[in-house]
Amino acid sequence: MEATLQEGKRLFGLKRWERALQELLQVNTENLIAEETTELAYYLGLSFAKLERYDDALLYLEQVVTASTDPLKIYQCRMAIAYIYAATNRSKMAEYELDQLIKNGFESAQIYTTLAFAAWSQKKYDKAVELYQKALDLDENNATALNGMGFILVDTNRDIQRGMRFCRRAVDKKPQNPAYLDSLGWAYFKLGDNTEARACLRKAIELAPKASEIKAHMRIVVGD
């Protein structure tokens, strides 16, 4: 295996995404066998995804789905593709990728939380709640599912008290996650506790100062 590919994999494992990408892009593909070419595409795709260069990521991730014989790599790449589609408002394409995984015998809380997010983005709130519940049935402590379920229950006024409990559990598990703090702050606001709402949202903004949704919630809470 070419040294630059090995170094790229090492840097990726250290979560040094930019450095990993620089190393991987220098690999001479003419020297690789087919299995190594797929390996390179796998790490390039994931590195681009980590850096939110989604169009580049899709190019390589789709190569892995087509060429790899490793079920785990195919699963990981389909999940990454589905996440990218969901994050870029291509929800139906995200659903297709996830449905393919389920048809091939994969089932996980992560699949259902991504499906739920896709449903939420299409304003299919009942379906999203159902899918988050499926995720929690598989993993009752899944923080993503707890937060997603809580936010929908709060934001749509379905059951604000119950939603608050889900949001609190998510924050308890990951207290430095700005999205979870945002959901909890929004729940406090919906319950009329503006002091706690501001405290949660202020911390969320400190952790994610560019997050437009968090800032929008804060403006509503402070009456701006």
Distances (CA, A) of 13 to 131, 148, 165, 171: 31, 29, 35, 27
Q: What is the DSSP string of 148-164?
A: HHHHHHHHTTS-HHHHH
Residues 50, 37: Cα–Cα separation, whole Å: 20
Q: Under a CB-based contact definition with an 8 Å cutoff, are residues 82 and 108 in contact? A: no
Q: Does some domain include residue 127?
A: no
* Spatial separation of the C-alpha atoms in residues 132 and 141, rounded to whole Å: 12
In a domain? residue 147: yes
* pLDDT tens sequence across 144-197: 999 999 999 999 999 999 999 999 999 999 999 999 999 999 999 999 999 999
At residue 1, the pLDDT reads 52
Residue 49 lies in a domain: no
CB-neighbour burial class of residue 139 (10 A; exposed 0-12, middle 13-18, buried 19+): middle
**Residue-number span of the structural domain to which 188 is assigned:** 141-224
pTM of the model: 0.75
* Chain centre to alpha carbon of residue 147: 12
Asked if the structure places residue 156 within a domain, the reply is: yes
In a domain, 178, yes or no: yes
> Using CA atoms, how far apart are residues 115 and 149, in angstroms rounded to an integer?
13
The total number of structural domains that make up the chain: 1
Cβ atoms 157, 163 nearer than 8 A: no
Tell me the percentage of the chain whose pLDDT exceeds 70: 99
User: What is the mean pLDDT of the segment spanning 196-214?
Assistant: 95
Task: Specify the CATH number for the domain of residue 166.
Answer: 1.25.40.10
Q: Is residue 189 part of a domain?
A: yes
Q: Is residue 42 scored above 90 in pLDDT?
A: yes
The Cα–Cα gap between 74 and 72 comes to 5
Structure confidence at residue 91 as a pLDDT band (50, 70, 90): confident
Say if 193 falls within a structural domain: yes
120 within a domain of the structure (yes/no): no
